[in-house]
Structure 1
Amino acid sequence: MRNTPGLPMAGRTVLVTGGTAGIGKATAMGLARLGAHVAITGRDRDRAEDAARELRASGGERVDIFVGDLSVQLQVRRLAGEVLQRLPRLDVLVNNVGGYWNSRHRTADGRERTFALNHLAPFLLTNLLLDRLTRSAPARVVTVSSHAHAMGRIDFDDLEGERSYSGARAYNQSKLANVLFAYELARRLNGTAVTANALHPGVVSTAFGAEDPSRVGRLFVPFLRPFMKTPTRGAATSIHVAANPDLEQVTGRYFVNGNPKRSAQPSYDETTAARLWQVSADLVGLAGAAAK
């Protein structure tokens, strides 16, 4: 299958973060098969090139790779600059990259890694690419969250777990931050023809969290794995929200299994969302980001 005018995503360019494995690679593959010019990000160049070869073999005629550790702000900025140089248009940004660490890790910026990668990275990258998305409109920002957001709480007094750290608490908070970010972005982009939505991909069998798993994860995930979704099934909602023509004007929503659902009540708190936006902008040095 090649990029021909008869395909629904023909002529459109999509950037998928964390596209070298798991849900991200399956999302990129699905969008490539729909005719999109797909670009992926990954930390390791060899893995990114291997993924690109797979994408081309499965039907993606145009595949670009961008290499960088998105938990590091300097690398997010460098990668965004390369995207702006190499991609003259950007129709869809899929903020897919994410991780789970049972113990507290610090990034090169001194930030707590879960918060840095799962929230600050998509926040910064989206804002750096927003002008390109706006000029390519109608365009979409799709942020992969999780049902775990329902157990999250934004602790402004200890956002990065310096006083007390729990891998699960940090992850849940970051996933709530994803939904708050998507909704706040949708409000700020009102009238621009750029939509912003969040989604839950389901419980998917990937290597997610394997670098520093929790004790519960080590004990129970092997038994649960046969009942989890495959990456291809897990990517279905991301692909749907990124590509379905019926969603061109749908914004500020949360999707599960391809359908809009109500997210947890704290995700609708506009005061918390606005405060989180300002705190995030300060942490990444991005004053006036996507101002209303």
Structure 2
Amino acid sequence: MEAKTIVITGASDGIGAEAARQLHHHGHQVVVVGRSASKTNAVGDELGVDRHIADFSRLADVRRLAADLRAARPRIDVLANNAGGIFGDRTKTGDGFDLTFQVNHLAPFLLTHLLLDVLTTSGASVIQTSSAGARLFGNVALDDLEHDRDFTPQRAYGTAKLDNILFTQELHRRFHDRGISAAAFHPGTVASNFASSSGNFVQRVYGSRLTRLLMSTPQKAAGQLVWLAEGRPGTDWESGVYYERRKPAKRIHPQTRDSNVARQLWDESMHLLKLPRG
């Protein structure tokens, strides 16, 4: 298998760290990105790979990360937008956005956008870690993307994960003919530090000893990210598709069937981030 350069965000813990380990073991050049300096450096030191510290609740960090990656990596074969999470009470970031919306959607959208020329030149795959929560809790209201009117932590998270799928579809529509492939996937219910700061019932569920016995391990859940990262788009998986258990999901949110929603979400994200439209 030809070695790839693979950038993984949210790689300081959980499935991101496990995917980094497996991909490094398979001979790929892995670059790990994480919010926690101590945890990210620990993974980087363990594997002997490059690492970058970036907090996605600060868009300035995302812009700095993109600049650093561009300077260090003229080729990126895979960008795995894995960072994300469910949080507690409604919180605004310093950039003025809901924390869940920014960390799960706007930040990876911005990072991908700022790396587009590198990704297109590389013929890269862009992978989004989404969730079945998109189908269960998500709903994109284009006039209320941050759920100002009806916020709950799980609703905000479900919608952000739905945003990931819609972003995948629109990225495919706009850039597949320029060389980019895109996929989103549900990793399963994983026994990790996910939801550890949510402060709600989701945290209690994920923290339950009994529940964790029934969950997938990060090692197993990372296998799907590894499969997409190593796979050949068009042969092993199809671009623009949301996967569960390495197969196109059978149950999907109705809004993922509406290309206008994906297109308008893209345009509104560009507007919120003040990105030039070209």
The one-character-per-residue Cα deviations of 1:22-62 (angstroms, maximum 9, x if unpaired) are: 01101111111121110011112222110112224xxxxxx
Distance of 1:21 and 1:149 partners within structure 2: 22
Q: Which residue of 185, 190, 193 maps to 2:171?
A: 185
Q: CA deviation at 1:71?
A: 2.1
Q: CA contact under 8 A between 2:172 and 2:182: conserved in structure 1?
A: yes
3-state DSSP of counterpart to 2:95: coil
Alignment RMSD, CA only? 1.6
- The 5 A counterparts of 1:208-227 are 208-218=194-204, 221-222=207-208, 223-227=210-214
Structure 1 unaligned residues grouped into runs of 5+? 1-7, 57-62
Which residue number in structure 1 is paired with residue 244 of structure 2? 256
Which residue number in structure 2 is paired with residue 4 of structure 1? none
Q: CA deviation at 1:208?
A: 0.7
Which residue number in structure 1 is paired with residue 24 of structure 2? 32
Which residue number in structure 1 is paired with residue 160 of structure 2? 174
Q: CA contact under 8 A between 2:224 and 2:245: conserved in structure 1?
A: yes
Which residue number in structure 2 is paired with residue 153 of structure 1? 139
Which residue number in structure 1 is paired with residue 45 of structure 2? 53
Q: TM-score, normalised by structure 1?
A: 0.89
Q: Which amino acid aligns with 1:241?
A: L
| Identical positions, percent | 37
Q: Which amino acid aligns with 1:143?
A: Q
Q: Which residue of 192, 196, 213 maps to 1:206?
A: 192
The one-character-per-residue Cα deviations of 1:205-252 (angstroms, maximum 9, x if unpaired) are: 111111123135315641211110000111111111111236567211
Q: Do the aligned partners of residues 38 and 102 (structure 1) sit closer, same or farther apart at CA in structure 2, a change above 3 Å counting? A: same
Q: CA contact under 8 A between 1:236 and 1:258: conserved in structure 2?
A: no
Distance of 1:240 and 1:80 partners within structure 2: 25
Which residue number in structure 2 is paired with residue 143 of structure 1? 128
Q: CA deviation at 1:69?
A: 0.6
Q: CA contact under 8 A between 2:167 and 2:266: conserved in structure 1?
A: yes
The reply on whether 1:95 has 2:81 as its aligned counterpart is yes
Q: Which residue of 238, 256, 259 maps to 1:270?
A: 259
Q: CA contact under 8 A between 1:281 and 1:287: conserved in structure 2?
A: yes
Q: CA deviation at 1:72?
A: 1.6
Distance of 1:128 and 1:86 partners within structure 2: 14
Q: Do the aligned partners of residues 265 and 86 (structure 1) sit closer, same or farther apart at CA in structure 2, a change above 3 Å counting? A: same
Q: CA contact under 8 A between 2:52 and 2:65: conserved in structure 1?
A: yes
3-state DSSP of counterpart to 2:127: strand
Distance of 1:85 and 1:246 partners within structure 2: 27
Distance of 1:28 and 1:191 partners within structure 2: 29
Q: CA contact under 8 A between 2:129 and 2:185: conserved in structure 1?
A: yes
Q: CA contact under 8 A between 2:181 and 2:233: conserved in structure 1?
A: no
Q: CA contact under 8 A between 2:86 and 2:157: conserved in structure 1?
A: yes
Structure 2 unaligned residues grouped into runs of 5+? none
Does 219-228 or 16-25 show the bigger shift?
219-228
Q: TM-score, normalised by structure 2?
A: 0.94
Q: CA contact under 8 A between 1:20 and 1:40: conserved in structure 2?
A: yes
Q: CA deviation at 1:73?
A: 1.3
